[in-house]
Structure 1
Amino acid sequence: MEKSMEDVAAARFEIISPLLDASLDPVLRIEKQKEVSWHCGKSYRTIGRWLKSYAANGFAGLKPSKTCPKTVSALPENYAEILEAAITLRRECPSRSVRDIIQILELEGLAAKGILSRSTLQRHLQKEGFGLRQIRLYAKHDAASRRFAKSHRCMLYQGDIKYGPYLPIGKDGQKKQTYLAAWIDDATRFVVGASFYTNQKVDIIEDTLREAILTYGKPEAIYVDNGKQYRSNWLQTACAKLGIKLLHAKPYHPEGKGKIEAFNRRLDSFLAEIALQKPGSLEELNHYLAVWLKEKYHKDPHAGLSGISPETAYLTDKRPLCFPDIAACQEAFLHTETREVDKAGCISFDGQKYEVGLKLVGRKVDVCYDATWKDEVEIHHKDFPVFKAKRLRIGENCGQTQLFPEATQPIEAKHSRLLTGLDRQSGKAHKPATVATSFRNMAKELNAHV
């Protein structure tokens, strides 16, 4: 499936996000940009161009511009031999650039001067597994992980999902698994968002992250694992729109998320107590979780904070909190799907019908919605202003739907304009020619004079 422009912009933001730190020294910024370049497989100049576009136009500057398709140039007949020689040159010296490889091939007479394209050769080298980034990864050896901690609150939130207790909230009182979605502040170990849910969908990430941002402020970055909930296009786009760096831990390296993992272990004591309390509903379970966090976890001394409590560490931090604009936050947390309007002026969405109007019949519209509240959705179409659509309420009696606009109704024709036009054209084409002299008329005239 082809990526939308917003998905591409979100992916580009994720790449350049490590370079947006204003405190970076110019020299360190150059080195960091080089590191980002080979890590993502993009050129240094491309990364620089994205940074300038983001600085000038924000998130919109990262959206790709529409370009005309390029013509495909034919490769030389001996390109397989040239590629094999290029791979050998790369293996001889892994740091050798594609430009230098092309120059060597030209000097040795393996390729005519100017016939090789740098981008084409680079693409083929990457396809064969000999790109510069790939070569460096081959030579890289895993090192021991180092502990890290941010210096101030709201610099980094760590998120995770943990299995919760079973509750009798299923059909006919059957036990149902619950799941905890939590966010913890890296510097202070303060839990900024945590709730139990009955599913592991991306909606629970959205709900708790929005609660954390609106209550405790927007973080500079969030750090999560590689679960499908955290790899969603929605989370990537939402973070890009809010200017939050989205960081993912290395696969099979849970030590990078040590703080949230330590909180999960600490939460086991709460799960042991809640098993004795036997809550009968999800609301009751979340109530006791909030009480335990407020009166127990946040007030207990923390070994990682030199013996002070997470609450004290959070409240005494002098870093000012940054809250996003409400409208911008609401827009960032919207999901978008495409639907086609049926002949009744409705769309089918989430198993329900929504009225959008007859003016959009047969057209495709973008449906923007909040995953936690779907009674009303936003309808976007390039030819009409944005408007709200509500769920279709089905009454007891059928009713006459509004008529289509008069301009769309058929009109009565007096005759077939096609056949009339063809007949007129045929008459002009076969019009009989005027005869200059008629012998019959001449004979009649002669008899008349005899």
Structure 2
Amino acid sequence: MSHANAALTPRQRARIGRLVIEEGWTVASAARFFRVSYPTAAKWAHRYAEMGRAGMDDRSSRPHRSPNKTAQPLVRKIVHKRLKTRRGPVEIASLTGVPASTVYAVLKRCRLNRLSHVDVATGEVIRRYEHDHPGSLIHVDVKKLGNIPDGGGWRYVGRAQGLRNRLATPGTSRSRNHDVNLGHAFVHTVIDDHSRLAYAEIHDDERTTTAIGVLIRAVAWFAARGVHVEAVLSDNGSCYRSHAWRDACRDLGIKHRRTRPYRPQTNGKIERFHRTLADGWAYSKHYNSEKARRAALPAWLHFYNHHRQHSAIGKVPPITRLNNLPEHYN
């Protein structure tokens, strides 16, 4: 195959063929002129006579026949056991009677060598997608978090002290079964499918009016960064199934899509963002109060959008995928 130091590139091969076939040079003269062996010059001259310029390109070195190739019925058996039982190469080798190295080679050819490619629930190969430009689709959802009592929650101070902190926090209520209730924080999140740029607000409910307000402000936030939102994907929560939400999307000129019922994988990008949100902000350190945690969200969102390397988009921050910001012309 041709490379940086190759003696003959496809253009040089064509010159050999043209000189020998069309201009009457001898093969020996062409080989001496281009400093290659006689068989090499003869090969390219013969191929030029048969195929012309199209025959000068590199050909695959793959053999026409592979007698030792794993039979297709055995390949299907290996793939079936991998998908249905999620077994490793050694276990599959024990069940099929072939070497583990062969099983691994088959799994690698079929892109099943890593179980991350296989859906845990269905056993099918995960189908990944990404829209081709920012704003083509945004994902929306709500992350529900328990409020932190004054003094800190049980994750950092222990369950006994955490309960005492909850009882001492103003506004704490008790239900009939004496459970302490501090309420919940509802993080309304919006993420762009292409760039993974994220927007979030914290509210005390997940009502339709709240969700609509978040959508309107998120669309304006993306527009300020040159992103025109075309469609929004949500789950089947009550706030997203309402007529008010439908009318709000229509007024904004956005097409609304909903995920298949009981199929959160369809909205997987924002579900994965929620995990990052929890690890990087919500439960990342000891907060002395819910107010302190809420105050830390804007700084973490800035870090996520502008500085944190995102593995799904080539280990670059999401903001770098916008093509209309200063110093971002991709």
TM-score between both structures, scaled by the size of structure 2: 0.48
- Larger of the two Rg values belongs to structure: 1
TM-score between both structures, scaled by the size of structure 1: 0.36
